[in-house]
Structure 1
Amino acid sequence: MEKSFIFLIFLVLTHRSSMQEDDNAYSKIPAGLKIGIGEASYQTEGAWNISNKGESIWDNFVHNVPWKIDDQSNGDTASDSYYKYKDDVKLIKMLGLDYHRLSISWARVLPNGSADSINQEGIQYYHNFIDELLANGIEPIVTIYHWDHPQVLEDMGGWMNESMATWFTEYAEVLYRELGPKVKVFVTINEPQILCFQGYGGTLIAPGRNLGPAGAYTCGHNMLKAHAKAYRLYGEKYRSAQNGKLGIISHCSGFLPETEGETLPSETAYQFRCGWISHAIFVGDYPQLMKSKVAEVSRNEGLSESRLPKFSPEWIRYINGTADFFGLNHYSSYLVSFPTTTIQNDSFMLDDSGVSIRSDPRWEAGSLKRFRIIPEGFGWLLRKIKSEYNNPPVYITENGLPDNGGLQDYQRIKYHYLYLKEVLRAVQRDGCNVQRYTFWSLLDHFEWNSGYRHTFGFINVNMTSPGRERTPKLSFSWLQNVMRTRQLQPPILPPSVNTTTNHQ
């Protein structure tokens, strides 16, 4: 009996020691993993009609259909970063981060959308911003397009017009020529999946065209062509001198099976949501599973051909290989299954997949209920990308959690602690080639159709004050400590908040 008791104590102590070792093993940020933070132009800049800037699709959207925004607000002033960028750079430096991801307003640089009419005041603003970052030892990562093209191009069809690929490439060349000598990482397009389905397939975000799945697929088709043309142009004319890297950003969730061991729903959801854009770039063409399913649904609906456009063999070859890294925005995960009856998905719809997508109500949620804290889904996704595309360099370009404001943002600290730990586990245990991790976001800002009701920032912005004063939140101090030590330590949280999640 005594020997058994001693052996039991030995097992408990060994297990506890193993857990502590595991916790420590995935807490240190390796030297090869760069850590940064990001923002997008329309969400933060304001100055919507200053210094010859043209009207963007978001300017048009918020001014003409303000009821589409939860609080009927807009980004006319937003976080006022157009005037306060130097203050923001100081805050980034205080955090000790390696880089800052910013985006360029197409309408600020090319007010009428055309490269033959460059707004010098607009391009100078971005020169100044990037110079300020570099002077403070912060690397700039530049997103060429983050959902805010000039309204004049939308009037000509926007992403429904195949010519948009040419207009985009001409715009990108202006940025390569002007900013390329200072910028070593460009992102061509941010999240085609979201913009195409919510802005062209539906009405949630600008331009709100409501063209259904066929419109969304056409949008993505033209975006892939635009991305590839911009990537090839950089290689032909600028890469040898500037030595930069280019990629596109996919929005990808984690897809966990409702029934353990059932892999097909997860695979299908992944290919429709993430593979739709990524497969064409890293493998070639759309995923076969997606092509087959869309073709079948289209036939059943009486269509003469699939509503998913087809690439010619020449375009398949041209698009394939047009990325130096896998750009990834990730926020949350879902349970997936093939339903026996038709049910409403609780995220943006992709009916052609036939997959039911839902959140487990037991998973802790941010202020927007679709943002659930389920870090194991992030690990699933990173391992999926590794196996699907031969372990490419992964740049995580957005990761964050919304809340309703306030300075004591304990839940945000919990979220980032758990999610960054999952990244470190994927890197160190699973060999995933993650090279950058980007917190989203630096500031509270205009959150698209949610307005200012939900915030992602490490820094509070007083949106009711003309001065838009900045106040660091509790998470700001936590992140400072993480970057100072390059060590991910468990946060000190109130008793009501744990550092674990309730999983199924």
Structure 2
Amino acid sequence: MKWLLVLIYACTSYAEDYVFPPNFQFGVATASYQVEGGWNASGKGENIWDVLTHNRPELIYDQSNGDIACDTYNKAITDVQLLKSLGVDFYRFSFSWSRILPVGTSNKINPDGIRYYNELIDELLKNGIKPFATMFHWDLPQPLQEIGGWPNPVVADLFVDYANVLFEHFGDRVKDWITFNEPAVFCGGGYEDGSKAPAYKGNGFGVYLCAHTVLRAHGKAYRLYESKYKASQGGRVGITLDTYWFEPSSDKPEDIEAGEITIQMNFGWFAHPIYSKEGDYPSVMKERIAEKSSTEGFPRSRLPEFTPEEIEEIRGSSDFFGLNHYTTNKCTPLPAGWGIPPSQWTDIGTMCYYETNWEIGASSWLAVVPWGFRKLLVWIKNEYNNPEVIITENGFSDKGELNDCRRINYYNTYLEELLKAIHEDGCNISGYTAWSFLDNFEWMRGFTEKFGVIYVDFDDPDRSRTPKMSYYVYKNILATKRVDWKFTPDSFNECEF
């Protein structure tokens, strides 16, 4: 029996024995409004977050704003040295549309915005770090919001004009592009439930109009690059979509169906038009919203329809699958008669929740459920024919501890599940991005929740930076291409896992 146990142990693969493939890329991420500051510096125009935080500060948990934030507008060059020391392959940042185009339209380009991003990109490349650029991370120019924002279909064309400016000025050096970050979040929060700028409540209309414009804008920007720039610049363009994993609350058929409906109508909503063979919105989404709209007395579905030409333009419009993932929910059907329609959630018709024994971060929505990460990656593989996936965000919030053992536990357990997805499930995953490089302005939660591997002292006018324990643990993962639970950086207390 003793020898049998030894043999079983020797023949068993453990996640800690797995290594990341040789060509696997690691990075960290930030977003312009969350870190840059310089909100009105040198010709920059106002965006919807400037307006929201200045005019309605009561909506922000600590009444703070991103006027200064981490001050990367003035510290970008020195921050690159922290990135270099960390050992990342790439740095994912976002352009501020209003810093490039102060009124949102391409007839007025701000020279200082071009200068700022040129200096950042050049400094990254000089230090051997690839720029991984997001065009839009939630900070719409305010003049475009005043004509209706994303629910206005004209904004799709204005976004393509903006994308063209970015390709023209930076595409000779930026080879990895993301059009949009998490459209489900900024459409849902901005135009459905009011939880993000511009904080409108759209009653089951605005959220779908926003998404429809965004998908059209993405498809058009991709085809612009494909036809005008790809041959000469040799880059690639994708999009970043976010989702929870939605686990059925039981093995009952109705709960299994609830989990699938929820992921299709939250994630497939954007993924299906781009990555599926047939394109367009998921059939379950079209059917449910049409049925709900009819019972509510509307003459047509609240979900807009793509033309056949738009379906073709959007289908296949991505060179990789950008994925943001943090947590998992369990789902079951909504009780009959629950909720006030019309709304996105009554359209979906499910109720999702956390198990009470799951660990929760400083963000009330962030439960630590690493096994859900692997299940999601396998679902994407099976649903969309195993596309190349780049994890463009994954991370954990706390209150800013330097000895951030809970963040280290999160990274280690989630990266182990990612390794299992690669080695055991055959998922095509080529990169991982930790959110976030710096503690930053966390949207409606202000500075009360911290995601960074670097602590930023927001009480210090100089916004001093201090690497946390997780910075050094992540650095070790990047250097060794493996998860090492035993690694403890010098001058830090050992974590108890």
Shared fold per TM-score greater than 0.5: yes
Aligned counterpart for 2:246 among listed residues 245, 251, 255: 255
Whole-Å Cα distance in 1 between the matches of residues 344 and 417 of structure 2? 28
Counterpart of 1:143 in structure 2 is: 134
Answer yes or no: is 1:409 the counterpart of 2:400. Answer: no
Specify the SS of the correspondent of 1:206. coil
Indicate yes or no: 2:32 matched with 1:41. yes
Equivalent in the alignment of 2:271: 278
Instruction: Identify which of 109, 114, 124 aligns with 2:115.
Output: 124
Distance, in Å, in 1 between the alignment partners of 2:257 and 2:420 is 25
CA gap of 1:496–1:15, structure 2 versus 1, over 3 A, is farther
Shift of 1:368: 1.4
Aligned counterparts of 1:473 and 1:349: Cα–Cα separation in 2: 39
User: Among the aligned pairs, what percent are the same residue?
Assistant: 43
Pairing 1:293–2:285 present: no
Q: How many residues align?
A: 487
Change (3 A) 1:373 1:14: farther
Q: 1:267 matched to which residue of 2?
A: 260
Q: State the secondary structure of the residue aligned to 2:205.
A: helix
C-alpha distance in 2 between matches for 1:251 and 1:143: 14
CA distance in 1 between partners of 2:382 and 2:337 (Å): 32
Alpha-carbon distance in structure 1 between the residues aligned to 2:418 and 2:482: 13
CA–CA distance in 2 between the matches of 1:369 and 1:360?
13
Confirm or deny: 8 A CA contact 2:360 2:367 kept in the other structure: yes
Equivalent residue number for residue 54 of structure 1: 45
AA aligned to 1:43 is Q
Alpha-carbon distance between aligned partners in 1 of 2:104 and 2:134, rounded to the nearest angstrom: 17
The answer to whether residue 180 in structure 2 is matched with residue 185 in structure 1 is no
- Alpha carbons 1:272, 1:350 under 8 Å: kept: no
The residue aligned with 1:113 is: 104
Displacement of 1:211 in angstroms is 1.1
TM-score of the pair, normalised by structure 2: 0.95
Aligned to 1:397: 392
- Are 2:426 and 1:431 aligned? yes
TM-score normalised over the length of structure 1: 0.94
The correspondence for 1:481, drawn from 455, 469, 476, is 476
2:15 corresponds, among 9, 23, 34, to: 23
Greater mean alpha carbon deviation, residues 424-433 or residues 71-80: 424-433
Distance 1:495 1:93, change over 3 A: closer
**Match for residue 225 of structure 1 among 216, 219, 244:** 216
CA contact (8 A) 1:478 1:491 kept: no
Deviation at 1:436, TM superposition (A): 1.1
- Residues in 2 aligned to 1:70 and 1:322: alpha-carbon distance in whole angstroms: 38
Q: 2:462 aligns with which of 467, 472, 477?
A: 467
Which residue does 1:235 correspond to in 2? 226
Conserved in 1, the CA contact under 8 Å of 2:453 and 2:468? yes
- After superposition, the Cα gap between the structure-2 partners of 1:222 and 1:70, relative to the gap in structure 1 and judged at 3 Å, is same
Asked if structure 1 preserves the Cα contact closer than 8 Å seen for 2:361 and 2:398, the reply is yes
The answer to whether 1:89 aligns with 2:87 is: no
Counterpart of 1:154 in structure 2 is 145
In structure 1, the partner of 2:366 is 371
**Could you list the per-position Cα deviations for residues 409-430 of structure 1 after superposition, in whole angstroms to 9, with x for gaps in the alignment?**
1000000101111111101111
Report how far residue 408 of structure 1 moved: 1.0
Which amino acid letter does the alignment assign opposite residue 178 of structure 2? Answer: V
Listed as ranges, the gaps of 5+ residues in structure 1 are: 1-6, 499-504
Distance 1:351 1:415 in 2: 32
Q: Aligned-pair distance for 1:207?
A: 0.7
Secondary structure of 2:14's partner?
helix
CA distance in 1: counterparts of 2:36 and 2:9, whole angstroms: 49
Could you tell me which amino acid in structure 1 is paired with residue 265 of structure 2?
F
Cα distance change of structure 1 residues 491 and 219 upon mapping to structure 2, 3 Å threshold: farther
Any conservation in 2 of the 1:417–1:491 contact (CA below 8 Å)? no
SS of 1:238's partner is: helix
What code does the residue aligned with 1:274 have? F
- Matched residue, 1:201: 192
* Residue pair 2:15, 2:419 contacting (<8 A) in 1 also: no
Deviation of the 1:213 alpha carbon: 2.2
Check conservation: 1:255, 1:336, Cα contact below 8 A: yes
After the TM superposition, list the runs of 4 or more consecutive aligned residues in structure 1 that deviate by more than 3 angstroms. 9-19, 339-345, 491-497
> How far apart, CA to CA, are the structure 2 residues paired with 1:55 and 1:424?
42
- The alignment's C-alpha RMSD in Å is 1.8
Equivalent AA in structure 1 for residue 137 of structure 2: H
**Alpha-carbon distance between aligned partners in 1 of 2:317 and 2:338, rounded to the nearest angstrom:** 37
